[in-house]
Amino acid sequence: MADKLIKVVTCLGFADAHEDDPLFEEAFGVGKALAEAGYTVANGGGPGVMRATTLGAKSAGGHVIGVTFYPKDVSIFEGRDINNPIDEEIKGANYLERTLKLLEVGQAYVFFRGGTGTISEFGMAWGLARLYFGHHKPLILYGKFWENIMAAYLANMRMRPEEFQVYRVVTSPDEVIKSLELFELMLQHKHQAFNPAEKPFEL
């Protein structure tokens, strides 16, 4: 994938998803599909969706990057999961640095169902995609429920047209891969039109 713009896909979602949770199974399937398609998976190195995407990727012989944070004063943060067998670890000094590094490492994102942490990561990724529209990092929103969330933003917030062009809602691992391939074609086309001095995928 040396000629690809999208090489690493960051997966984000609920840290408290257990192995018998359908969400865990969905994330495992996506991690496996990403690895089979030649992508490197990145996640926060923790439990839940993070561990599921790692296990899925590893089941297909994939490589996984974990962006971690070891808190000293945050009692309810899930932290590093020793049962998440990442291949490469990047340690952040604090929660904000960890979030930024998660967004920096990947050239595309898959967002699963999650809580406030996932919401904050999604908001930052979406905002950056709008700021860098044209050579942005695309978002893949996993689950049909996202359609209601995005419709609520459209109906109640002051949104710009391009903000609804940087993501796709999908419901299967196969659709994740197809969306990445579509985004790759779009980004390759737009990248060729940019000044070579511009750096794509900057945060």
DSSP alpha helices (H): ranges in the chain?
Answer: 22-36, 49-59, 95-105, 116-131, 145-156, 173-192
- Assigned token pair, 155: 């109906």
Report pLDDT for 194.
52
Domains of the chain, by residue range, sit at 8-192
Report pLDDT for 120.
96
Q: How far is CA 134 from CA 59, 163, 192, 194, in A?
A: 34, 11, 11, 9
Tens-level pLDDT at each residue, the chain (203 residues): 448 999 999 999 999 999 999 999 999 999 999 999 999 999 999 999 999 999 999 999 999 999 998 888 776 677 788 999 999 999 999 999 999 999 999 999 999 999 999 999 999 999 999 999 988 999 999 999 999 999 999 999 999 999 999 999 999 999 999 999 999 998 888 767 655 445 544 54
- Supply the pTM of this predicted model: 0.91
CATH architecture of the domain covering 8-192 = 3-Layer(aba) Sandwich (3.40)
